[in-house]
Amino acid sequence: MPPLYISDSEVRELLDMDLAIAALEEAFRQLAKGGATNVPRARARGEGIVLHTMSAAADYLGLVGWKSYTTTAAGAKFLVGLYSSVTGELLALVEADYLGQLRTGAASAVASEFLARPDSKVVGLFGAGQQARTQLQGVCKVRKIELVEVYSRNIDKCQLFADEMSELCLTRVVPMHTPDDVAAEKDIVICATTARTPLFDGRVLDEGTHLNVVGANHWNKAEIDVTTVRRADSIVCDSIEQCRLEAGDFRQALEDGAVDWSNMHELSDVVTGQAAGRQTPESITLFKSVGLAIEDVALGAKLLELAKREKLGRPLPF
């Protein structure tokens, strides 16, 4: 049977946040059990372009796969490839723009399920782009959110985002003008921006806050300051190995001796109970996401299953 080419529009038709959360929670369980392996991202830099490649093996699904994407001044282009672990044959090529947004939001949802206080109701959100949309959708799936305060440097975009997400998430989303106010007095704080420098003063965080920090995956970028890192009672990474290469949010805190990699935990270990997440209601918890290929492969596997069932996708001529 020829491999399927699945378009971004078909991804949007077939997948939703509930499916993504279930697929990723199982992927993290399998990482902890040895049923999956993840290979960190590598980057090849050309003149005006960067090629990013990452891969994973999901033995529990009978698949291996990769994600490859380019970034240029014109934007980013994403592809995911899935192969049979048995035959080595290519099974699918996926346009993976929305798939990437969905899996990143689902990863934060899994982290929030295990780290955010069960009674969390108020969210502070930095960012009003596509990643911010799925971040908020994911959190609203695992907690009963009543109020979201959102900040973006683009005031008009922020208002439009607030209006759209209020309807989509069935909750009150309010645009804000002061970053520190967005971080203060919140149950959950989400950072999903392209910022290179910290978004707020970590001193304003309330005890008991959970943070999902997802925007930066370069060593020279940081959405949070040293104070935030120092105040976190529990720091959980999607992958410590990959965060060592890309989590610029920790760079200054590591240099200052405010934190050490040995004090951090893998999300896979928290999900399986091998590592503690939240210790007390007053604990500040921090989830750092840089994005893993196993997330793309796990969600891609569900996509391929649904595409075959619904007879979607276009057979490739090889």
Same domain, 122 and 200: yes
pLDDT of residue 36: 98
Per-residue pLDDT of the chain (318 residues; tens, 9 = 90+): 899 999 999 999 999 999 999 999 999 999 999 999 999 999 999 999 999 999 999 999 999 999 999 999 999 999 999 999 999 999 999 999 999 999 999 999 999 999 999 999 999 999 999 999 999 999 999 999 999 999 999 999 999 999 999 999 999 999 999 999 999 999 999 999 999 999 999 999 999 999 999 998 889 999 999 999 999 999 999 999 999 999 999 999 999 999 999 999 999 999 999 998 999 999 999 999 999 999 999 999 999 999 999 999 999 987
Question: Which CATH number fits the domain that encloses residue 240?
Answer: 3.40.50.720
Same domain, 134 and 12: no
pLDDT of residue 81: 98
Same domain, 93 and 139: no
Same domain, 188 and 253: yes
Question: Which CATH number fits the domain that encloses residue 307?
Answer: 3.30.1780.10
71 in helix, strand or coil?
Answer: strand
Nearest to 130 by CA among 182, 184, 94, 76: 76
Nearest to 152 by CA among 140, 143, 160: 160
**Taking phi first (over 0 means left), then psi (-120 to 50 degrees means alpha), and beta for anything else, what does residue 275 get?**
beta
Question: How many domains are there within the chain?
Answer: 2
Same domain, 179 and 256: yes
pLDDT of residue 1: 84
**DSSP string covering 264-308:** -EEHHHHHTTSS----STT--EEEE----HHHHHHHHHHHHHHHH
Same domain, 159 and 274: yes
Same domain, 139 and 268: yes
Residue 17 structural domain:
4-100+294-315
Strands 188-191 and 122-126 turn out to be parallel
The torsion angle over the Cα atoms of residues 133, 153, 189 and 56, rounded to 10 degrees, is 50
Same domain, 302 and 166: no
pLDDT of residue 45: 97
